[in-house]
Amino acid sequence: MEKILIVDDEKHMRLILSKILQNEGYQTFQAEDGHKAMVEIKQNNPQLVLLDYKLPDINGDKLLEKIKKYDNTIIVIMLTAFGDIKKAVTSMKLGAYDYLTKPFNNEEIILTIQKAFQNLHLKTEVKYLKKKLERTEEYVEIIGESVQIKKVIEQIDLVATSDISVFLEGETGTGKELAAHLIHKKSVRREFPFVAVDCGAIPETLFESEMFGHEKGAFTGAVSVRIGKFEQANGGTLFLDEITNLPLTMQAKLLRSIQEKKIMRLGGRQQIDVDVRIIAASNRNIAEFVRTGEFRSDLFYRLNEFKIELPSLRERKDDIPLLADYFLKKMNKSLKKNIQGFTPKTMNELLNYHWPGNIRELKNIIKRAALIAQDDYIQPEHLFFTNIQSESEPLFKENFSWENISKEVRHTKLKAIEQAIKNANGNKTLAAKQLGISRNQLYRILREAKNQTE
């Protein structure tokens, strides 16, 4: 609940204001002079102060300065008689948000305070988003020397200097978001935000609020102003991942915003100018979606001004040793280990695997292998593939049985968990986190293993 302190030497005025504000859902506190006002501020931490200019022990400007010195985020609205408007203007120069003249209009009081809180929430959210952006993953180049990946890097360098829309197409895990981030980092927009949106993760009912934001009271639960993704990315780049997951109704709204370079918050009445570069991506053939009528052709042409195809890891196997070494170095740093590399047999396993999950799967496999390994080199038994078939060996061997396969999988999982628990000094929650599984999954596997031995 938002808290308001009313500072006025007239008791009846404090009571009237308090009743008006409490009816609007605010929590109120009262003080009749400057000394008690500071006591209330320190005890109750109000976000807003209604401050009368004339007080028995201090004038309004002096108290305003004390309040701002104590906490500059507190909103101060001056209360003044009609003839003292010049003083109120001076107060605003000293940091007051606004002023109200006596006698008050109830509606004016409520609207002024609502706008003040909206402004406070916007500033708070912007501050949070800036900190969040500062914590984003460190900027890295694409790793690889293959012909396929060199072509991608050349295309990124070519398109980064322009401002046209880019469409990235590639299987899951091929590095589409990294490519989008590189385009942004090499562009003139690099000093502004890069905002990524997973279009498949936004329910249709929340799309407008998520993308365009909403005003306070726009719908049930909208207790404050929310900045949408377009405003967050203003001046920078908006990355729309898995764009083919968007329903047609949402595609129309997205197209209009891109074309007009304007958005309107849900529940808002005023259009807001936005300047963003759009980079979209999909792991599916978007042209096929256009042909079947599942994706708007006008939006497709707007997004597809320049297309870059990200190769699968199967198509760039020459890069696997470089990528594996890169991920191992990162894990060594994270786990405080000094694993030297991979045995020839281990590297052969990595090269022969067909990588349905691409680079993301390689990263996860190296992560688990580094966690388990206690030697100087990663051994084949440290690898845990989600699909055990490799191109160099058949899936069905002479001694094949489903029971044998199931036992092998259970054994490998149990071995990984036991090593993770050991590395985490017995902390099962931390072990589960390091393995990338939930704590419930970890306990379930341990229970199953215990039942098998009983």
**Nearest of 252, 257, 255 to residue 272 by alpha carbon:** 257
Point out which residues pair with 273 in neighbouring strands.
Answer: 262
**Nearest of 157, 164, 155, 243 to residue 196 by alpha carbon:** 243
Q: Say yes or no to pLDDT of 156 above 90.
A: yes
DSSP element (H, E) containing 439: helix 439-453
Q: ω before 394 within 30° of 0 (cis)?
A: no
Q: What is the mean pLDDT of the chain?
A: 87
**Nearest of 270, 27, 310, 274 to residue 153 by alpha carbon:** 310
**CA R_g for the chain:** 30
Residue 294 — pLDDT band, cuts 50, 70, 90?
very high
DSSP line for 323-374: HHHHHHHHHHHHHT----EE-HHHHHHHHHB--TTHHHHHHHHHHHHHHH--
| Conformation bin of residue 235: beta by default, left when phi > 0, alpha when psi is -120 to 50 | left
Q: What is the pLDDT of residues 386-414, one digit of tens each?
A: 754 433 344 444 444 545 555 666 777 78
Share of the chain above pLDDT 90, in %: 59
Least confident of 65-79, 203-217, 418-432: 418-432
pLDDT in the model for residue 269: 85
17-25: which pairs have CB atoms within 8 A and are 24 or more residues apart?
17/50, 17/104, 17/109, 20/106, 20/109, 20/110, 21/109, 21/113, 24/110, 24/113, 25/1
pLDDT in the model for residue 219: 83
Give the rounded distance of the alpha carbon of 50 from its chain centre.
Answer: 36
**Locus of tokens 């390689």:** 362
Residue 135 — pLDDT band, cuts 50, 70, 90?
very low
Q: What is the pLDDT of residues 217-258, one digit of tens each?
A: 888 777 788 889 999 999 999 999 999 999 898 999 999 999
Most confident of 42-51, 115-124, 434-443: 42-51
What is the set of domains in the chain, with CATH numbers?
A: 3-123 (3.40.50.2300), 147-309 (3.40.50.300), 315-453 (1.10.8.60)
The predicted model gives 366-385 an average pLDDT of: 92
**10 Å Cβ neighbour count for 240?**
25
Q: What is the pLDDT of residues 337-354, one digit of tens each?
A: 999 999 999 999 999 999
**Nearest of 378, 376, 385, 374 to residue 413 by alpha carbon:** 385
pLDDT in the model for residue 394: 45
pLDDT in the model for residue 414: 81
Q: Say yes or no to pLDDT of 169 above 90.
A: yes
Q: Say yes or no to pLDDT of 134 above 90.
A: no
pLDDT in the model for residue 398: 46
**Cα(67)–Cα(34) distance, integer angstroms:** 10
Distances (CA, A) of 79 to 48, 65, 99, 321: 13, 16, 6, 70
The predicted model gives 176-194 an average pLDDT of: 93
Amino acid code (one letter) for 323: L
pLDDT in the model for residue 42: 92
Give the rounded distance of the alpha carbon of 294 from its chain centre.
Answer: 28
Distances (CA, A) of 7 to 25, 37, 41, 102: 19, 6, 11, 14
The structure's pTM equals 0.59
pLDDT in the model for residue 232: 92
**Cα(452)–Cα(238) distance, integer angstroms:** 51
The predicted model gives 195-207 an average pLDDT of: 88
**Cα(121)–Cα(113) distance, integer angstroms:** 12
Residue 450 — pLDDT band, cuts 50, 70, 90?
confident
Structure tokens at 141: 């180049």
pLDDT in the model for residue 83: 61
**Cα(450)–Cα(191) distance, integer angstroms:** 55
**Cα(302)–Cα(381) distance, integer angstroms:** 49
DSSP 8-state symbol, 199: G
Structure tokens at 434: 């390091």
pLDDT in the model for residue 228: 92
The predicted model gives 296-311 an average pLDDT of: 96
Looking at the chain, the number of H-run helices and the number of E-run strands are 18, 14
Most confident of 83-92, 257-266, 432-441: 257-266
The predicted model gives 39-67 an average pLDDT of: 92
pLDDT in the model for residue 416: 81
Q: Say yes or no to pLDDT of 371 above 70.
A: yes
pLDDT in the model for residue 400: 47
Residue 110 — pLDDT band, cuts 50, 70, 90?
very high
